[in-house]
Structure 1
Amino acid sequence: MTHVPSDAEFDPATATIAIVTYNRSGLLTRLLGSIAAMDPKPGHVVVIDNASTDDTTDVVESYRDRLGDTELVYRRMETNTGGSGGFSEGMRVAYELGSQWIWLMDDDVEVIDDGLAKMGKWAPRFKSIQGRRYDYDGSEFYWQYRIAEKMGIPIPFAPASFDSSGYKPMNSGCFEGMFIHRDIVKQIGLPDPRFFIYWDDQTYGWLASRKTQSVIVDEFVLRRTREIKQWDMGIRHMNASSNAYRYYIMRNRAIIKRYYQSLGVYRRVPFALGTALTFGKELIRLVFVERTVRGTSNLFRGLRDGRKIAKDSAWKPMPPLD
């Protein structure tokens, strides 16, 4: 006899995994393979392809029959919209499919076999949930789940350990594993594609935390499959970056500022301090992770272009859905 979940239980078929990929078909193959091996599986898998020029389309099509009853939805963007644009589109497609739960992830992770079951057991209690992730080398990845709201930056010394409750309150978000209910998406709208990359998931998670109790749970559900150059600082790591990231890290501070202003939480001095600390952190990243001082011009260019966003009288935050 088939067991029908009650209102208080989690039904895996109501969940959608939304993936953003760009020219990394080898990594995408590993992720789709891990989803095919999951038990239980989600009702849908949505793949947003940011105009890849490799064999991504063929890889996706090859998995249509391997996912069992899970429906695979493929959307190829006309241009590269960045991670922000991809996640915004992935959220939109999943929402329009009627998904109750949307699980976002990049293409450089794979899902633990029972990952959806682990997330689902928290679904009756919370509507914005972040699971944990193993790093490429198998170590426990530390994600900065709390932000100093007035400064708009992560708190690097937020406690890493969990108590007996198995969860910790968070006021941030990470699109590499964000598990969010459609009710919250409806209230805060889609992720903002104007970020292109960086700060988009932190801002979206912060917006979610203003509507519901957001939590990170002590459940390992993902594993990174791409090695990234790092500076190992013990439990925390600092990853290598790129000139594009450096530019958007600084430019997008202006978008966060506009969201803060729209919600009446912007405070000029602490936010400026947060921007200065961000600038300093990127200089440290250049010197200690990438062993260079080249790239600072991208930080200044980002600050310059951010001023244009700050002065744009037509700028509006993303609207609620429906």
Structure 2
Amino acid sequence: MSPTRSPADARPSTFDPSTATIAIVTFNRSGLLTRLLESIALMDPKPGHVVIVDNASTDDTTELVESYREKLGTQLVYRRLETNTGGSGGFSEGMKVAYELGSTWIWLMDDDVEIIPDGLERMGHWTPRFKSIQGRRYDFDGSEFYWQYRVAEPLAIPIPFAPAGFDESGFKPMNSGCFEGMFIHRDIVGQIGLPDPRFFIYWDDQLYGWLASRKTTSVIVDEFVLRRTREIKQWDMGIRHMNASSNAYRYYIMRNRAHIKNYYRALHVYNPVLFGAGTALTFGKELIRLFFVERTVRGTSNLLRGLRDGGKIARDASWRPMPALEGVGG
């Protein structure tokens, strides 16, 4: 399946690929990381830097990365962390490194995707107009992956049936984000700070994208630039799919509602009734995921434990949002 060109192709672009950095987070998945690095080696054009943050992998990730240092055709920066900080900590570190390198554009991605060869060029078409951009992805089977790009702000949950189609403009406004392909300008990073490592996993990218949308017009564009390389168990709901989860995800999806609540409070958009409804809907969705995708009732305790620990976070008087970075790193 080959991507189709969007109306952006008719626009002259001032985008310089060398000003972009791809920041990748990996953990014990050297096989998947190999496919991503191979796709980067085939990219045209290439970014100025590739930053790989290794969350203390115990497999052969270090040796693999070093074997690609001369193959990528661009500067490789490898950061191996001493402990596993989760996707949240990894992306926070990756963003920090990319920002301190002086990157104008930062393209975040997990290790379970590969890049369409001209993906960076396609994203670059939109940079004269927008500073927070999300491209599209193919799923593992080659189908068009649907991502929930809109958030019901008072509820702080994604809208699952936001329209998938694009009009002739080739873009749609979004108020969310996904670290599997977020493409963001350093000016916005400077204003909203780094991704919050306290999330560990889950909700961190949605919250970060929402913060970005408060500073600039954020968009998802009709450009297929990534392909997922890992198959995930799903429940086919007809027009949408629901993915399988894990006990860790169930815990953090409920616990981290408290971090979102604290951000909402700090930004004076918190409505306790509506936010509470969003939390209840999230809990219900996770029960459905357990029953219909994973076909088990075990795991409910992790949801309850997440709610309990989230209550402690919400009551922490010392909690503060991530600070802005303006003036840091040039």
Q: TM-score, normalised by structure 2?
A: 0.95
Deviations 1:243-270 (A, max 9, x none): 0000000000000000000000000000
Q: Matched residue of 1:287: which SS?
A: helix
Structure 1 residue 8: Cα displacement: 6.2
Q: Which runs of 5+ in 2 are unaligned?
A: 1-11
In structure 2, C-alpha distance between the alignment counterparts of 1:116 and 1:288, rounded to whole Å: 38
Aligned counterpart, 2:15:
10
Deviations 1:119-170 (A, max 9, x none): 0000110000000000000110000000000000000110010000000000
Q: Matched residue of 1:17: which SS?
A: strand
Q: Give 1:37's match in structure 2, choosing from 29, 42, 45.
A: 42
Indicate how the Cα distance of structure 1 residues 289 and 57 shifts in structure 2: closer, same or farther if over 3 A, else same. same
The letter for the 2-side match of 1:221 is: V
Aligned counterpart, 2:204:
200
Residue 214 (1) aligns with residue 189 (2): no
In structure 1, C-alpha distance between the alignment counterparts of 2:47 and 2:241, rounded to whole Å: 32
Mapping for residues 17-36 of structure 1, pairs under 5 Å = 17-36=22-41
Aligned counterpart, 1:166:
170
In structure 2, C-alpha distance between the alignment counterparts of 1:218 and 1:181, rounded to whole Å: 19
In structure 2, C-alpha distance between the alignment counterparts of 1:149 and 1:204, rounded to whole Å: 13
Q: Give 1:59's match in structure 2, choosing from 57, 60, 64.
A: 64
* Structure 1 runs (4+) greater than 6 angstroms displaced: none
In structure 1, C-alpha distance between the alignment counterparts of 2:217 and 2:231, rounded to whole Å: 33
In structure 2, C-alpha distance between the alignment counterparts of 1:98 and 1:8, rounded to whole Å: 21
Q: TM-score, normalised by structure 1?
A: 0.97
Aligned counterpart, 2:248:
244
Structure 1 residue 180: Cα displacement: 0.1
Q: Give 2:133's match in structure 1, choosing from 97, 110, 129.
A: 129
In structure 1, C-alpha distance between the alignment counterparts of 2:115 and 2:292, rounded to whole Å: 31
Q: Matched residue of 2:227: which SS?
A: strand
* Aligned partners of 2:13 and 2:124 also within 8 Å: no
Residue 79 (1) aligns with residue 90 (2): no
* Aligned partners of 2:13 and 2:125 also within 8 Å: no
Task: Calculate the aligned-residue CA RMSD, in Å.
Answer: 0.9
Aligned counterpart, 2:7:
none
Aligned counterpart, 2:109:
105
Q: Give 2:305's match in structure 1, choosing from 301, 305, 308.
A: 301
Residue 50 (1) aligns with residue 55 (2): yes
Aligned counterpart, 2:293:
289
In structure 1, C-alpha distance between the alignment counterparts of 2:65 and 2:238, rounded to whole Å: 38
In structure 1, C-alpha distance between the alignment counterparts of 2:118 and 2:167, rounded to whole Å: 22
In structure 2, C-alpha distance between the alignment counterparts of 1:208 and 1:154, rounded to whole Å: 16
* Aligned partners of 1:142 and 1:235 also within 8 Å: no
Alignment identity in percent? 83
In structure 1, C-alpha distance between the alignment counterparts of 2:237 and 2:143, rounded to whole Å: 13
* Aligned partners of 1:170 and 1:215 also within 8 Å: yes
* Aligned partners of 1:100 and 1:182 also within 8 Å: yes
In structure 2, C-alpha distance between the alignment counterparts of 1:64 and 1:237, rounded to whole Å: 38
In structure 1, C-alpha distance between the alignment counterparts of 2:124 and 2:236, rounded to whole Å: 32
The letter for the 2-side match of 1:255 is: H
In structure 1, C-alpha distance between the alignment counterparts of 2:45 and 2:320, rounded to whole Å: 40
* Aligned partners of 2:132 and 2:219 also within 8 Å: yes
Indicate how the Cα distance of structure 1 residues 42 and 148 shifts in structure 2: closer, same or farther if over 3 A, else same. same
In structure 2, C-alpha distance between the alignment counterparts of 1:8 and 1:160, rounded to whole Å: 26
Structure 1 residue 192: Cα displacement: 0.1
Aligned counterpart, 2:315:
311
In structure 1, C-alpha distance between the alignment counterparts of 2:230 and 2:67, rounded to whole Å: 22
In structure 1, C-alpha distance between the alignment counterparts of 2:178 and 2:71, rounded to whole Å: 28
In structure 1, C-alpha distance between the alignment counterparts of 2:63 and 2:131, rounded to whole Å: 35
Structure 1 residue 234: Cα displacement: 3.0
In structure 2, C-alpha distance between the alignment counterparts of 1:21 and 1:143, rounded to whole Å: 21
Aligned counterpart, 1:3:
none
In structure 2, C-alpha distance between the alignment counterparts of 1:234 and 1:59, rounded to whole Å: 40
The letter for the 2-side match of 1:315 is: W
* Aligned partners of 1:44 and 1:73 also within 8 Å: yes
In structure 2, C-alpha distance between the alignment counterparts of 1:179 and 1:294, rounded to whole Å: 37
Q: Matched residue of 1:110: which SS?
A: strand
* Aligned partners of 1:127 and 1:181 also within 8 Å: yes
Q: Matched residue of 2:310: which SS?
A: helix
In structure 1, C-alpha distance between the alignment counterparts of 2:138 and 2:191, rounded to whole Å: 31
